[in-house]
Chains A and B, each alone.
Chain A
Amino acid sequence: MSKGRILVVDDEIYIVHILDFSLGMEGYEVLTALDGEQALERLKNDKPDLIVLDIMMPKVDGYEVCRAIKSDPETQHIPVILLSAKGRNVDQKMGFDVGADDYITKPFSPRKLVERINSLLGQAVSEKTNTST
């Protein structure tokens, strides 16, 4: 069975492809979106277990998507990893301000991303387990 469902959002199609490939190899089910609007659309229909979200995107940027996710009681528990090419401290702060759970600076190794996802999902799963018992 799938280890979980991950929504990957980036306007660079090759980044989406390679994350789809790498996470798929790792046993995750991958949903994709190429901009913020598509991402919010997908969120309504499919409930992912984690979101990998690029910041600089057309229409609705990553910060806004993240803010929307974190302010909706339906989705606020979903961990969000922000992807940014900016890498300045102020951007990182902004990322956490909008409620992101983790922040990865481009360029990054997909393997590293997988590790972070594994750890975040492990946490989320265990938290869920805790509350239910």
Chain B
Amino acid sequence: MTSIELSWALAASALLLYEAGRRRRSLSRELKGLRGSLESAVQRNDQLSHAAEEMGRLYRDQLLTSRQRAGRLRKVLEIATSINSNLSLDKVLHEIVHAVQGAVGYRIVLLRVLNSRSGAYEARAFAGLDRNAITKLEEYDVPKAEFESWLRNEFKIGHSYFIPHERKLWGDHDPHSYTPDLGERAEGEWHQEDVLFVPLAGKDGSAIGYLSVDDPADRRRPAREVVEMLEILANHAVVALQNAAMVERLQESMSRLEEATERAEELNELKSNFVSTVSHELRTPVTVIQGYVEALQQNVGSANVGMQRDFLRVIHEQNEKLNNLIVAILDLTQFESGRFRMSREPFNLVDVIDEVVGILKPSAEPKRIALAAVRDVAEVVLEADRNLVRRVLHNLGTNAITFTPEGGAVTFRLRTEGRHAQVVVEDTGIGIAPEEIQRVFDRFYQSNSGLSREYPGVGLGLSIAKSIVEWHGGEITAESEPGHGSRFTVTLPVTPSDASVITHATWSPSRSVSDHLTRLTIEMVAEVMNARIASLMLVDGEREELFIKAARGLREEVVCGTRIKMGDSIAGWVAKHGQPLLVTDIEDDPRFGRRNHHQYETKSLLSVPVKIGDRVVGVININNKISCTPFTEDDQSLLTSLAERVARAWEHASAHEATADQAEQATKALAAIIDHTRRSKLRLTAGTMALRATAVGRRLGLDEEETRVLAYAATIHDVGMAHVSPGVLHEPGQLDSETWEQVAQHPARGVELLKPIEFQSQVSEIILAHHERMDGRGYPRGLQGAEIPLPSRVIAVVDAYESMTLGRPYRAAMAHVEAMAELFRCAGPQFDPTVVEAFAQVMAETEDTKLVRTPEAA
């Protein structure tokens, strides 16, 4: 096993151990639940015997007063006993309705049971009805609300409801009526349109079903005693229903428990296999080292220097190998302790494929394998864990090369399909037999089989690759034709599965603020703030409530189902007070309970109002920073700036005289910001520009408001570059005059684009001047020295550092030190020396790795 293989194995095991831990916890939860169910089953039994006792008492009482009634009650009791000893629900219900028919004397009986999923009462048991009537009843489920609307106090007898036909509750004719014609009835006799309902009261008092009876043998309207008997039988139906539900739940829990136990055992088995594999890997180099050291010791003083040097080389090599293993095991420990986190970031999949192909070249060349990457696009942005994705592709590539004989070919193909990116790794190798292909992804399947040792690098890697891909919400498949080659296909969602924007189509702040605009709003916020979850809530003035208009990263039912009272919860507080709110750790914040937040995984969130004039029209919420760090004050001021532009865009689009064209301009401005943010994120962790700029701004003594403006301007300053064709910046050499024209106009273009949403003239000024030089030789206006706004001078420095350390396709990236030297060299004619000085101090002081870019990272 190679050390790459082993580190894959370690990672795989870490996943397993992590999973095993989770299983164990859920197992104990399960057990707790089961214990609870058993307790309530015992309780249920108590209830049963209590009911039996009560019935016995009733029986005794009644026996004395009426022989006939006693006879009926005996039947009831007999049936009740048989009911309780029988757990087949349908049979029980059948017996109950027949007991009602036989013992109480109603010829027609219907029993309906609530289906908690559909929220309607379904016909489940019948007596005295023909097939046609039953079919009709089975076809119509009575919705809970409808049933409840019939239960009026005026109809109440005991716990039941008698609805006389004179009340005409269903008008002249009840469409749901199932009773056959009972013939002429005298005044005061039971009428065919009379209705008697006996609710089956569940634990909380609501009806889990009901009995409906008709056509009493004695033609009488129900007397209290008769209703009481019906209620006794109804209670038995309740017990039977609850018991049946309990048994079902118990069975479910049991099978879940069994499954979990099985899985835990399986994991344990895998774990011990793994331990023995790791142990083997560790012992081998130790054995080699021990052997060579011993041999050297025995030959001290030998004249054979060549041999000694050889032995020392082997010892050194093996020591290195051992060291790598130990590092990997330490990683594993960290993994196991649950500190491991997937870190998602946006990156270009094309770059990763190129990188992997580059790494694999040296192993393909000796075998004269043609290694190629084929793609129809230059850029596919994924939001995923870059390192893990690279490991998956590297592993697939390594396997492909290993199994491909000399002179073959290994090809990486990239294609996109809707919101998915697909990487296909194809080889012309020996292939995989059909019976093996099902199992190549099984964990540890091959680790002990001959195949993996014959071809090191296969076996463990695929199972971990599968875990990683599935972790990202993707899929990995294998196809092969033995003797001709294999094809592995990795499909990954371009953005996490729940990241699409959902809009809720009920209401808009104004008719002319289109769904499109609100959608863009939320997309812009999510992109600029680097938040996985973003939502836009609007104020429903009539109801004094907030509802979600558009969201990214929330499930549809949350979007459609959430309503928050003004003043309640976080968004409600923000809407009521018109103030932003930053919660770095919601569990520690005494202002808010944990309730209503189950859909959010992180503890940090940020909420700002959207105001038109002084009126709060909505709230923007963001949660879950993609970097997994909490939101900061800086994020709050940036989001506040964005919310102000959003309000501005809405106003612009919905002004009285607004033309379609003006609405279009507002959407264009937001779209341009989104586009710009996405483009710059490919180069740099989003928000870094703004972070650096504000740090420098503060150091130069800008106040809070000025800093806020600077942060926003730094975020969007290059928005005008969207119109410069991207190829231009990727080519070396001088720009031709036409391109130069485009580049020179980008500050003005940006200002123009943002105009519909910009209300602060400073922002436009800053953007316009960010390419001016101190000596007046900048563009577009050739401003000099202090004529250039200070924030523009700051952005110029931060931007220059950025582009130097990042490099261009035609120019290598500079190290931090070199870039700083270059800034100092140009301080004076190009940059403001005080800004450069402040920037240097910021960079020197910060320990934030996001701010200091190492050449490797670039």
Q: Which of A19, A85, A105 has the most CB of B within 10 A?
A: A85
- Distance of A97 Cα from B283 Cα, bound (Å): 23
With A56-B280, A86-B276: A11-B453 Cβ-Cβ less than 8 Å: yes
Give the interface segment out of B148-156, B289-297, B682-690, B823-831. Answer: B289-297
Contact B287 A107, beta carbon cutoff 8 Å: yes
- Is B284 in the interface zone, CB < 8 Å from A? yes
Q: Please name all residues of chain A whose beta carbon is closer than 8 Å to the beta carbon of B279 when the two chains form the complex.
A: 85-87
- Distance of A44 Cα from B298 Cα, bound (Å): 35
A18 nearest in chain B by CB position = B291
Q: Please name all residues of chain A whose beta carbon is closer than 8 Å to the beta carbon of B289 when the two chains form the complex.
A: 107
Of A19, A57, A86, A105, which one neighbours B291 at CB under 8 angstroms? Answer: A19
B454 nearest in chain A by CB position = A58
Q: Please name all residues of chain B whose beta carbon is closer than 8 Å to the beta carbon of A11 when the two chains form the complex.
A: 453
- Distance of A106 Cα from B281 Cα, bound (Å): 10
With A58-B453, A59-B454: A22-B291 Cβ-Cβ less than 8 Å: yes
Contact A85 B294, beta carbon cutoff 8 Å: no
Of A58, A108, A110, which one neighbours B295 at CB under 8 angstroms? Answer: A110
Segment 1-27 of A: residues with Cβ below 8 Å from B: 11-12, 14-15, 17-19, 21-22, 25
- Distance of A14 Cα from B282 Cα, bound (Å): 15
With A25-B298, A59-B450: A88-B276 Cβ-Cβ less than 8 Å: yes
Contact B284 A18, beta carbon cutoff 8 Å: no
A57 nearest in chain B by CB position = B453
- Is B286 in the interface zone, CB < 8 Å from A? yes
Interface of B is mostly: helix
- Is A129 in the interface zone, CB < 8 Å from B? no
B449 nearest in chain A by CB position = A58
Contact A109 B290, beta carbon cutoff 8 Å: yes
Q: Please name all residues of chain B whose beta carbon is closer than 8 Å to the beta carbon of A14 when the two chains form the complex.
A: 288, 291-292, 314, 318
Q: Please name all residues of chain A whose beta carbon is closer than 8 Å to the beta carbon of B288 when the two chains form the complex.
A: 12, 14-15, 18
Q: Please name all residues of chain A whose beta carbon is closer than 8 Å to the beta carbon of B291 when the two chains form the complex.
A: 14-15, 18-19, 22, 109-110
With A110-B295, A111-B294: A85-B454 Cβ-Cβ less than 8 Å: no
Q: Please name all residues of chain A whose beta carbon is closer than 8 Å to the beta carbon of B450 when the two chains form the complex.
A: 58-59
Q: What is the CB-to-nearest-CB distance from B116 to chain A, in angstroms, rounded to a whole number? A: 52
- Distance of A12 Cα from B107 Cα, bound (Å): 88
Q: Please name all residues of chain A whose beta carbon is closer than 8 Å to the beta carbon of B280 when the two chains form the complex.
A: 56, 85-86, 106
Q: Please name all residues of chain A whose beta carbon is closer than 8 Å to the beta carbon of B292 when the two chains form the complex.
A: 14, 18
Q: Please name all residues of chain B whose beta carbon is closer than 8 Å to the beta carbon of A19 when the two chains form the complex.
A: 291
A21 nearest in chain B by CB position = B295
Q: What is the CB-to-nearest-CB distance from A63 to chain B, in angstroms, rounded to a whole number? A: 12
Interface of A is mostly: loop
- Distance of A111 Cα from B287 Cα, bound (Å): 12
Q: What is the CB-to-nearest-CB distance from A21 to chain B, in angstroms, rounded to a whole number? A: 6
Q: What is the CB-to-nearest-CB distance from B847 to chain A, in angstroms, rounded to a whole number? A: 42
- Distance of A113 Cα from B283 Cα, bound (Å): 16
Q: What is the CB-to-nearest-CB distance from B118 to chain A, in angstroms, rounded to a whole number? A: 56
Contact B318 A108, beta carbon cutoff 8 Å: no
Contact B295 A18, beta carbon cutoff 8 Å: yes
Q: Which of A86, A88, A107 has the most CB of B within 10 A?
A: A107
Q: What is the CB-to-nearest-CB distance from A103 to chain B, in angstroms, rounded to a whole number? A: 14
- Distance of A90 Cα from B765 Cα, bound (Å): 79
Q: Please name all residues of chain A whose beta carbon is closer than 8 Å to the beta carbon of B295 when the two chains form the complex.
A: 18, 21-22, 25, 110
Contact A107 B290, beta carbon cutoff 8 Å: yes
Q: Please name all residues of chain B whose beta carbon is closer than 8 Å to the beta carbon of A85 when the two chains form the complex.
A: 279-284, 287
Interface 1/0 per residue, B429-468 and A, CB below 8 Å: 0000000000000000000001001100000000000000
Interface 1/0 per residue, B284-321 and A, CB below 8 Å: 10111111101100100000000000000010001000
Q: Please name all residues of chain A whose beta carbon is closer than 8 Å to the beta carbon of B283 when the two chains form the complex.
A: 85, 87, 105-107
- Distance of A14 Cα from B843 Cα, bound (Å): 50
Q: What is the CB-to-nearest-CB distance from A91 to chain B, in angstroms, rounded to a whole number? A: 8
- Distance of A88 Cα from B262 Cα, bound (Å): 24
Contact B294 A106, beta carbon cutoff 8 Å: no
Interface 1/0 per residue, A25-63 and B, CB below 8 Å: 100000000000000000000000000000011110000
A104 nearest in chain B by CB position = B287
A88 nearest in chain B by CB position = B276
Q: What is the CB-to-nearest-CB distance from A56 to chain B, in angstroms, rounded to a whole number? A: 6
Segment 491-511 of B: residues with Cβ below 8 Å from A: none
Q: What is the CB-to-nearest-CB distance from B37 to chain A, in angstroms, rounded to a whole number? A: 40
Q: Please name all residues of chain B whose beta carbon is closer than 8 Å to the beta carbon of A111 when the two chains form the complex.
A: 294
Q: What is the CB-to-nearest-CB distance from B754 to chain A, in angstroms, rounded to a whole number? A: 66
A22 nearest in chain B by CB position = B295
Q: Please name all residues of chain B whose beta carbon is closer than 8 Å to the beta carbon of A18 when the two chains form the complex.
A: 288, 291-292, 295
Q: Please name all residues of chain A whose beta carbon is closer than 8 Å to the beta carbon of B318 when the two chains form the complex.
A: 14
Segment 59-110 of A: residues with Cβ below 8 Å from B: 59, 85-88, 105-110
Q: Please name all residues of chain B whose beta carbon is closer than 8 Å to the beta carbon of A59 when the two chains form the complex.
A: 450, 454
Q: Please name all residues of chain B whose beta carbon is closer than 8 Å to the beta carbon of A57 when the two chains form the complex.
A: 453
- Distance of A25 Cα from B304 Cα, bound (Å): 14
Q: What is the CB-to-nearest-CB distance from B446 to chain A, in angstroms, rounded to a whole number? A: 12
Q: Which of A57, A109, A110 has the most CB of B within 10 A?
A: A110
Residues of A in contact with B (beta carbons under 8 Å apart): 11-12, 14-15, 17-19, 21-22, 25, 56-59, 85-88, 105-111
Some 7 contacts from A to B, beta carbons below 8 A apart, are: A14-B288, A15-B287, A56-B453, A59-B450, A87-B283, A105-B283, A106-B286
Given A21-B295, A108-B287, 5 other A-B contacts at CB below 8 A?
A12-B288, A15-B291, A85-B281, A106-B283, A106-B284
Residues of B in contact with A (beta carbons under 8 Å apart): 276, 279-284, 286-292, 294-295, 298, 314, 318, 450, 453-454
Task: Kindly list the 4 A-B residue pairs having the minimum CB-CB distance in the complex, ordered from nearest.
Answer: A18-B291, A58-B453, A85-B280, A85-B283
